[in-house]
Amino acid sequence: MNDPIHTLVMEEITDPVELAKFRARREKFDGNWAWFEQHAPEIYRQHRGKCICVSGGELFVADTPEDVITLAKTAHPDDEGRFTRYIPVERVARIYAH
Amino acid sequence: MRINGAWHLCDDDRVRPVVTGEIAAADGNRQQVTFLLDIGADRTVLSADILRSSGLAFTASPDRLGGVGGTVDAVTVDTQIVFLREDGGTAVFKGRFAAFTDPKALDMSVLGRDITNLFAVIVDRPQDIVCMLGQRHRYVIQER
């Protein structure tokens, strides 16, 4: 039974044009993610406490999410496959559970 | 319906199950979001880097979110999360989601049971499988 916290509506994209755009974004993301995974240990080591963004197969680093997304969008305005992450200051085991 | 995820090496050298979707940002563009697939989490929560880089409007939440470290103030956002299905289609979840405003509160967005309860979730490290199954897809447990 679902918890009655709030209601979610589940749908699917049926417009072929929107679907094609979605897949194209995902392909770009997959490229950025592959680049990130290749460089992740080095990125984690060098940028603790920072916000990062990978876009166009390039790493951007800033102190805030707003700043890092601005850097990435300026360099690669058409890349909607970009993603951001915050690299924790401490390298510790985590229990999430929110 | 099958939505595939992956095992991802995190900053503490632990490998965790993740699944990637996208949300609609405030400027109409889309933002890619990698979620920790956390079957212990009651709710889906967006991390602060996603909330703030997407520019989404948020409202104060009457709910606080609790974890091992205690409770933390959260906000809520109205958005949609879109996942790619294995067959090339999509699964779109529209609704109200929790989010944090402080990046230090959560390093990775969490996919919680408000969404995962709709699926059978497989996080199988030995077989290197992360996926969510629903509708026509089922799984079978058998002895080898």
Domain-embedded: residue A10? no
How far is residue A2 from each of residues A95, B18, B118, measured CA to CA in Å? 23, 22, 8
Q: What pLDDT score was predicted for residue B103? A: 85
Q: Do the chains contact at B114 and A81, CB–CB below 8 Å?
A: no
Q: What is the pLDDT of residues A12-55, one digit of tens each?
A: 998 999 999 999 999 999 999 999 999 999 999 999 999 999 99
Domain-embedded: residue A7? no
**How many distinct structural domains can be found in chain A?**
1
Domain-embedded: residue A39? yes
- Interface-testing mutation among B4, B9, B10, B11, with chain A (most A C-beta atoms within 10 A): B11
Q: What is the pLDDT of residues B13-37, one digit of tens each?
A: 999 999 999 998 888 889 999 999 9
Local structure of B8: helix, strand or coil: strand
Task: Give me the residue from A2, A5, A10 closest to B91, CB to CB.
Answer: A10
**Mean pLDDT in residue range B70-81:** 84
Third-level CATH fold of B2-133: Cathepsin D, subunit A; domain 1 (2.40.70)
Q: Do the chains contact at B38 and A97, CB–CB below 8 Å?
A: yes
Task: Give me the residue from A10, A64, A97 closest to B118, CB to CB.
Answer: A10
Domain-embedded: residue A53? yes
Whether B136 and chain A come into contact, CB under 8 Å, resolves to no
How far is residue B14 from each of residues B27, B45, B63, B110, measured CA to CA in Å? 35, 21, 30, 16
What is the count of residue pairs from A and B with beta carbons less than 8 Å apart? 154
Residues of B in contact with A19 (CB under 8 A): 88-90
Whether B109 and chain A come into contact, CB under 8 Å, resolves to no
Domain-embedded: residue A63? yes
Contact B144, B16 (CB under 8 A): no
pTM to 2 decimal places: 0.90
Q: What pLDDT score was predicted for residue B87? A: 93
Q: Give the domain extent around A37.
A: 16-86
Q: What is the pLDDT of residues B96-105, one digit of tens each?
A: 999 998 888 8
The overall longest dimension of chain A from CA atoms, in Å, is 46
Domain-embedded: residue A60? yes
Q: What pLDDT score was predicted for residue B26? A: 87
